Amino acid sequence: MTETGGREVTFLEAVREAMVQEMRRDPTVFLMGEDIGIYGGAFGVSKGMLDEFGPERVRETPISEAGFTGVATGAALMGMRPIVEIMFLDFITLAMDALVNQAAKMRFMFGGNASIPLVCRAPSGSGTGAAAQHSQSLEAWFINAPGIKVVAPSSAYDAKGLLTTAIRDNNPVLFIEHKLLYRTKGAVPENSYTIPFGKAEVRRQGKDITIIAYSIMAQRALEAATRLAEEGIEAEVVDPRTLKPLDVETIVGSVAKTGRALIVHEAPVTGGFGGELTSAIVESHAFDYLDAPVRRLGGRNIPIPYNRTLERASVPQVEDIVETARALAREGK
């Protein structure tokens, strides 16, 4: 199934629809988090779900990420399939013990006899003026934690399909939803569907340079590719969609074809996922096809500022991708 035809819904509505359809299908699925009931969630994702499923399956929690994520881990261990909404990804720092020290390790420690079908949904990223404690991109922390899968969709279609897959998975999944994507629209089938983890999507074909980007940066990379095409530079845009497991084959194949790779993410460059992607490329056969060094374009190594102008300058924008890709496409020629 591909992202073509059909009705258009927002990314936000696609996330809600995936949860609603899975809760109707499976009585062990439930949602828990802060303000998700009557209020409908900080961004309105769960609006109306309390009316259909009631307070037992749309469970309001105290303001204690450590507490309710621990409860969810226990519920998953006992056969339930909880979806935890962390109001902002930044607040997942308070739940790190439950996720990294408990949920991620239990299947391994019990010799495969335990399953932890736990999904943590978390709005991430900058662009809303929410300042330093509500605007971070922390995906690299969890990519470094064995036992947790990490998903970062960039479209409404992918959001629904990947979240459905996440809810049905028997392992902990961190599902990252960029706040600026919530109001974007795309074609999404009404019926339930899944998208397999570990399968990247080539969003745009090109021959001159590969741009690898996920979440909001995949959308910006597409816009940048359109501008670059006006200059005669054909950029191929590869969206990993799932960061762990990672579709190395598609990424390496694209880079081997174009001979140049630009990796774009919102998180700071230092310690970011771009380093892992760079290693995947240079440790593969694509290294022999490179006509220029792999480039990384990420956020500045500073906390996200509150000031809107400074906030915008702290993470890659479309014009930054265009400028960097243009220079890389011409390098070595």
Q: What angle do CA 294, 295, 298 make, to 5 degrees?
A: 145
Q: Which member of 13, 22, 34, 65 is catalytic? A: 65
In this structure, are strands 8-10 and 185-187 parallel, antiparallel, or unpaired?
Answer: antiparallel
In this structure, are strands 261-268 and 58-60 parallel, antiparallel, or unpaired?
Answer: unpaired
In this structure, are strands 81-85 and 235-239 parallel, antiparallel, or unpaired?
Answer: unpaired
Phi, psi of 185 (to 5 degrees): -115, 155
Q: Given CA atoms 63, 176, 304, 308 in this order, what sign does their dihedral have?
A: negative
311 catalytic per annotation = no
In this structure, are strands 81-85 and 209-213 parallel, antiparallel, or unpaired?
Answer: unpaired
Phi, psi of 139 (to 5 degrees): -60, -35
Dist CA 238 CA 247 (whole Å): 10
Three-state DSSP class for residue 328: helix
Dist CA 188 CA 196 (whole Å): 16
Three-state DSSP class for residue 169: coil
Beta bridge partners of 149: 173
65 catalytic per annotation = yes
Residues 6+ apart with CB under 8 A from 131: 304, 305, 306
Dist CA 151 CA 287 (whole Å): 27
Q: Which member of 134, 201, 236, 265 is catalytic? A: 134
Active-site amino acid positions: 65, 134
